[in-house]
Amino acid sequence: MQLYDKDLLSVQEVRTLVEKAKNAQKELALKNQREVDEIVSSIAEAGVRNARRLAKMACEETCFGICEDKAVKNVFASRGVYEHIRDMKTIGELEYNPEKKLRKIAVPVGVIAGLIPSTNPTSTALYKSEIAVKSGNAIVFSPHPNARNCILETVKVIRQAIAEAGGNEDLVSCITIPTVQATDNLLKHPDISLILATGGTAMVRAAYSSGTPAIGVGPGNGPAYIERTADIPLAVKRIMDSKTFDNGTICASEQSVICDEDQKEEIQKEMERQGAYFLTPEQRRKLGGFILRANGTMNPMIVGRSAEEIARLSGITIPGGTRVLVAQEDGVGREHPYSNEKLAPILAFYVGKDYRQVCDICCQILHYEGAGHTFSIHTKDRDMVDYFAKRVPVSRVVVNTPGALGGIGGTTGLMPALTLGCGAVGGSATSENVGPFHLMNVRYVAEGLRELSDIRAEMPGASEEKIKVQGNAQEDGCIQQMEIEEIVEQIIKRLRSM
């Protein structure tokens, strides 16, 4: 009975939150660009001020990741996102083309449903709040139950920041009783205009099947190719930095390292020198049986854990100081657990006889899981970048940079984001890093430039037809003139004979 009551309470809470968000969004729609930007700036400043405190809460509640790295992500999601979107025109008239007499006007979608994962809970809430308000919308969050408290505290910080800037704090709100029924009702609520889904595959599928327009992202399973012209120590450092950042919880982090066959020994030694441990065949088998559940999905016990903790949980012994666990792989699919996404400091290690075979392996991995997401390449050969960019089924090819930070726009020129679109190949509505422009519509105001007669005059053969018509008219005119003269002459003759 208590569970039933909880479900009812959670559904009623959703209805109340959406109604308040709808009213707050109507108020926001009356504000100008400067007023909206002040609210977004206030959210960003509050996120930076509370970055460490919220990071600590997230680590303690979820047991995922590294506190200092989560603080970095909070600052990135606050200040980093704000600095990128600060000067974007998102309210009112966006553009006017006097030559075409065409105006573009921003139209907010209204109230957005935001799904928040447990891997990046506080940073995702900050990021989604900023881009939602920047584009003139309100947002209601459905938190992952395992990160409920830290997400609610983040929303509390955001709401206070909104109020301090003169906005309605109900622009950002969050379900406090997270249940399956609450999330389902939020996604299907008639006043929800768009879903912004970040989370597991099941959650993203639920968003797309809700009947409400949705922007969802699929899993990341990005391979990283260390090409033969690469600076190997630097390439390995970048990969190790990426894979250990917040213990691998960013979906753009590398999941596999691939190299040419004749460079395998050199790259393996360099990885070991920088803290990677290559598993023995027995350890590889034992850990492989632990990282995936019976249904083939990632075991949550490995997510965001350190290499030493994962080794302890799976019952294997590794050297002290190990940063990343590496398993040599020779295939892709369910029987090859290391070919899956692993949001932890675990890497698969593949070799190919040349770059062509390496490309084939990368494509196999991505089509198995991670299509449309991210691919990393370390090389000094621009032709190699072009070769892979034309072939790998991803939306982001990041070059000579840590995959995790490059994919989210931390070390590259991409839009800073924690929701990374995977395009059609990945079942996503966009292939871009999601920003304010994805959360609005554009209304076009177009003035007339031509008349129908102008269009007809431009039709193929119109000139020849005009000449022909004019010619016929002239001929008809001559005949009519001759007939008139003949009639006049006959009348004159009759008059004279009288």
Q: Which are the catalytic amino acids?
A: 251
CA-wise closest residue to 201 among 136, 251, 263: 251
Per-position DSSP letters for 299-328, written without gaps between them: PTTTTT--HHHHHHHHT----TT--EEEEE
- CB within 8 A of 315, min separation 6: which ones? 286, 290
Q: Burial level of 224, CB count in 10 A (0-12/13-18/19+)?
A: buried
Q: Which of 116, 142, 143 is nearest to 127 (CA)?
A: 116
Helix H or strand E segment including 442 = strand 440-446
Residue 232 near residue 242 (C-beta atoms within 8 A): no
Alpha helix locations (H) across 101-143?
Answer: 121-134
Alpha-carbon distance of 284 to 372, in angstroms, equals: 28
Question: Positive or negative CA dihedral for 381, 385, 387, 388?
Answer: positive
**Residue spans of alpha helices (H) in 63-119:** 67-75, 81-85
| C-alpha radius of gyration, the chain, whole number | 31
Q: Which residues of 447-456 are buried (b: 16+ CB within 10 A; e: fewer)?
A: eeeeeeeeee
Q: Which residues of 20-56 are buried (b: 16+ CB within 10 A; e: fewer)?
A: bbbebbeebeebebeebbebbbbbbbbbbebbbbbbb
Do residues 212 and 144 touch, judged by C-beta distance below 8 A? no
Per the DSSP assignment, residues forming a β-bridge with 326 are 278, 347
Rounded distance, CA 104 to CA 446, Å?
9
Question: Which single residue is written with the structure tokens 């030559």?
Answer: 99
What is the rounded CA–CA span in Å between residue 110 and residue 461?
50
**H or E stretch including 138?**
strand 138-143
* Residue keyed to tokens 């932890």: 344
Provide the 8-state DSSP code for 248.
G
From 190, 214, 203, 90, select the one nearest 143 (Cα to Cα): 203
To which residue do tokens 């027995």 refer? 282
